[in-house]
Structure 1
Amino acid sequence: MKWLIMSDSHGWKEELSPVVQRHEQEVDYIIHCGDSELYEDHPALEKMMVVKGNCDFGEDFNEEIVKELKGVSLFVTHGHLNQVKMTMTNLTYRAEEVGAQITCFGHTHIATSFQENGVIYINPGSIRLPVRPKRTQTYVICEIEDNRVKVEFYTRQGEILPELTNEYTLA
């Protein structure tokens, strides 16, 4: 199973299409971790599971998604309500509370992945306004096979960033 994960596109519409088109035939799910600044029915978000970020106004999106996808428990949130810019503690408590194996979040605009207390955390960075590394616009392809989880970061142009790639084992 493969997931395309992105976040913090901040109003971009046409710029999302090449990323989706590049991977839509190989992925099973597309996840947007908030701050799209678009409405739920916008064509750019048509094939995505999307959560509400702090820059998303209106009632279009849920604050969280908690879902089981082919036997893997997923938790998606933007992260602002968990204060992820200050601490990961609130997010880790919430992930454990909902029984997540994989947690996807955004808000910080920093591309990262890590595993803590058996939960895999993925922040795809920002597809539009990155902070680090090197201000590179990023997204993620997460491949789950058996208990192995490979998290690969890509530039918006589709080039892999091997220095950010990690592999984990599902707990």
Structure 2
Amino acid sequence: MVSDTHGDKQILRMIAKQQQPDADGYFYCGDSELPADDEIFETYQPVTGNMDFDPAFPLTRTADFPGLKVFMTHGHRFNVNWTLDVLIQAGREAHADLVLFGHTHQLGVEQHDHMIVLNPGSISQPRGEFAPLHGTYATVDFDDKTITVQFHTRDGQVVDKLTRTFTR
């Protein structure tokens, strides 16, 4: 999953085609600044961000994989700059195993009652402690017992010290 490219469509192509070509799903957590009918969204499942002005983008999205339910939003309408409580409640109401969001431009992952809440960070305009990585995206692997999150730099390198495996 990727978030907050702010017009950098080329990085989305690169991630999908060169760095993560075998993913089961590609999620875009908002702020592309592209139209909803852009061809890149034939690959990525997007939601709207506060810098997306095409009303065709959905505010939230859910996706089901065998053994995993995903809930995604950008986060600007869920108060994520101040608390994750509203987002966590929305994830619970969606019966999600994995909640994806962006907006803050800061990567992070944590577990709440067996639900993983994940912000991949901004691939183009990172902020916070991990801004020196110059942009990140995340991948998720799961089975019936664990969910593993890896953060990657723009060139696809795994940031090993940030890898987390959670028990389901």
TM-score by length of 1: 0.92
| Cα distance in 1 between the residues matched to 2:163 and 2:67 | 23
Identity between Structure 1 and Structure 2 (%): 34
Residue 80 (1) aligns with residue 76 (2): yes
**Aligned partner of 2:95 among 93, 96, 99:** 99
Say whether the 8 Å CA contact 2:59–2:73 is kept in structure 1.
yes
Residue 37 (1) aligns with residue 33 (2): yes
1:17-62 Cα shifts (integer Å, max 9, x gaps): 1111124432110000111111122123321110011110021211
Aligned to 1:156: 154
Residue 18 (1) aligns with residue 7 (2): no
CA RMSD of aligned residues (A): 1.3
| Cα distance in 2 between the residues matched to 1:125 and 1:19 | 15
Say whether the 8 Å CA contact 1:66–1:74 is kept in structure 2.
yes
Q: Secondary structure at the match of 1:6?
A: coil
Residue 46 (1) aligns with residue 42 (2): yes
| Cα distance in 2 between the residues matched to 1:86 and 1:27 | 32
1:72-113 Cα shifts (integer Å, max 9, x gaps): 111000001101011111111111111111100000110111
State the AA in 2 paired with 1:165: T
| Cα distance in 2 between the residues matched to 1:87 and 1:109 | 15
| Cα distance in 2 between the residues matched to 1:78 and 1:54 | 8
State the AA in 2 paired with 1:168: F
* Residue 135 of structure 1, CA deviation: 3.4
Q: Secondary structure at the match of 2:132?
A: coil
| Cα distance in 2 between the residues matched to 1:135 and 1:57 | 29
Q: Which has the higher strand share?
A: 1
TM-score by length of 2: 0.93
| Cα distance in 1 between the residues matched to 2:23 and 2:72 | 17
Q: Secondary structure at the match of 2:137?
A: strand
Q: Higher relative contact order at CA 8 Å, sep ≥6: structure 1 or structure 2? A: 1
Segments of 5+ residues of structure 1 without an aligned counterpart are: none
